Chains A and B, each alone.
Chain A
Amino acid sequence: EAQVTQNPRYLITVTGKKLTVTCSQNMNHEYMSWYRQDPGLGLRQIYYSMNVEVTDKGDVPEGYKVSRKEKRNFPLILESPSPNQTSLYFCASGVAGTYEQYFGPGTRLTVT
């Protein structure tokens, strides 16, 4: 089944404790992206990647890192999480140059 998977689905952590949210897709998509969803703000792009070793900032990249060492994986790294990073995070993938993006199931992150 073609899908985008994220792990973990839920995470509660404390300020300053490094964490990684994994994202994997099995559709051989070149394009992958991370969004965060906050009430009243919709979804906003954090980072995106056009292919292996090619990443770029989105609209809200502060406090986040990404890497793209393999085509199927695009992890989101929070090196020192803060409470303002409490949010719902979505990974998405797609074929470069096409309109459609496939979203993962979301990761609910709470930073206390």
Chain B
Amino acid sequence: AQTVTQSQPEMSVQEAETVTLSCTYDTSESDYYLFWYKQPPSRQMILVIRQEAYKQQNATENRFSVNFQKAAKSFSLKISDSQLGDAAMYFCAYRSARGQGAQKLVFGQGTRLTINP
């Protein structure tokens, strides 16, 4: 079974600085998707960024980018120019590309990010 590990329960960063959230996963599959979700105090789950495992190029969405290291099974999220609105719980998630595992997201434990003004 696939597992996702976020080893940083909490992180903090100064406003306008850059922060990196870590995520590692374990799988024997070669084709899968990886995601970062943001959960603000409203509890809504918001998709921040996704990465297809077959793509070598790291995904980028505005101030959010990932460092995808397939061999190391690592998928970190970098937030540049941190803003107060970035304060939230962040979840890393894995999804198989096919088969039974494609029917669910496997989540990490979450990292609570605080932005200091």
Contacts and interface: CB of A to CB of B under 8 A. Distances in A.
Interface in B56-115: 91, 93, 95, 102-105, 107-110
Nearest to A33: B104
A108 B103 CA distance: 24
Contacts of A106: 43-45
A79 to B, nearest CB: 23
B108 A42 contact: yes
Interface string A38-63: 00111111001010000010110000
A103 B45 CA distance: 6
Contacts of B93: 43
Contacts of B6: 42
A74 interface: no
Contact of A99 (B42, B45, B50): B50
A19 B50 CA distance: 35
Contacts of A108: 43
Interface of A is mostly: strand
Interface residues of A, number: 25
B107 A43 contact: yes
27 contacts: A33-B103, A35-B105, A35-B107, A40-B9, A40-B109, A41-B109, A42-B91, A42-B107, A42-B108, A42-B109, A43-B91, A43-B93, A44-B107, A48-B103, A48-B104, A56-B103, A58-B104, A90-B45, A92-B45, A97-B102, A99-B50, A99-B52, A100-B47, A100-B50, A105-B43, A105-B44, A106-B44
Interface of B: 4, 6, 9, 33, 35, 42-45, 47, 50, 52, 91, 93, 95, 102-105, 107-110
Q: Which 5 A-B pairs have the closest CB atoms?
A: A42-B107, A103-B45, A45-B104, A43-B107, A106-B43
